[in-house]
Amino acid sequence: MNKSTRPPVSCLAFFLASLLSLVIAGLVFKTVFVAYTLSQFPQQSFADIGYALIWGLRFDLAAAAVFSLIACLLLWLFTFARPLKSPWTLLAIMLLVQGSLQIGDTVYFVEAGRHVSYEMRDALADASGLFMTAVTKHALFLVVSCLLLIVLSLVLVKAAQKLEAVFRGVSFVPAFKGQGIAEFFLILFLA
């Protein structure tokens, strides 16, 4: 099926596909975080680290739900103004934003010993110094992480497109006149 005859993307199916993609990306970058900062946790066993990763899945789901909701709201707004040629660009942007935040948090954690969220105001005030520290001390990590982020984003967007096609075939809400509004409220409830 070529792009011009492809049916429009369902917001609910897009939400579910992007939610799953963002959770997977979150888990991948949490694993990168652990691998890069492992020397700071010599007393932790791999079982403890695995437990922490699984326990952090709730946070990953919450963050992914927020990013997916933003992408769905933008997708919904674009359907009224000008339908997007590729709504999957929104998912790619959300993946890049999420990955960039996690890469930055990893570098900050290595330097400061805590996550950037504890000092967000200070981090924004001294952004140039933080950026220069990241580039000079963690250049290889930044390059490898950015390449991983790009490849992971491309793979997850392709997988999400296929997943959305599967979700599109499944009826989550019975067909009726206000189905679009019902799906919108279901997305809000899920997020």
Statement: residue 27 has pLDDT above 60: yes
Statement: residue 1 has pLDDT above 50: no
Statement: residue 22 has pLDDT above 80: yes
CB 18 within 8 A of CB 67: yes
The DSSP string of 30-49 is HHHHHHHHGGG-TT--HHHH
Taking alpha carbons only, the member of 89, 108, 106, 30 closest to residue 63 is: 30
> How does pLDDT run across 78-99, given as a tens digit for each residue?
766 666 667 788 888 888 988 8
The residue ranges of every structural domain in the chain are: 8-190
Spatial separation of the C-alpha atoms in residues 44 and 174, rounded to whole Å: 49
Residue with tokens 């674009």: 78
Q: Answer with the residue of higher pLDDT: 19 or 172.
A: 19
Statement: residue 173 has pLDDT above 60: no
Average pLDDT over every residue of 8-33 = 84
CB 109 within 8 A of CB 115: yes
Asked which of 12-21, 135-144, 161-170 is least confident by mean pLDDT, the reply is 161-170
Q: How confident is the model at residue 52 (pLDDT cuts 50, 70, 90)?
A: confident
> How does pLDDT run across 123-165, given as a tens digit for each residue?
566 667 777 777 788 888 888 998 999 999 999 888 888 887 7
Asked which of 31-35, 43-47, 76-80, 103-107 is least confident by mean pLDDT, the reply is 76-80
Mean pLDDT of the chain: 78
The pLDDT value recorded for residue 74 is 83
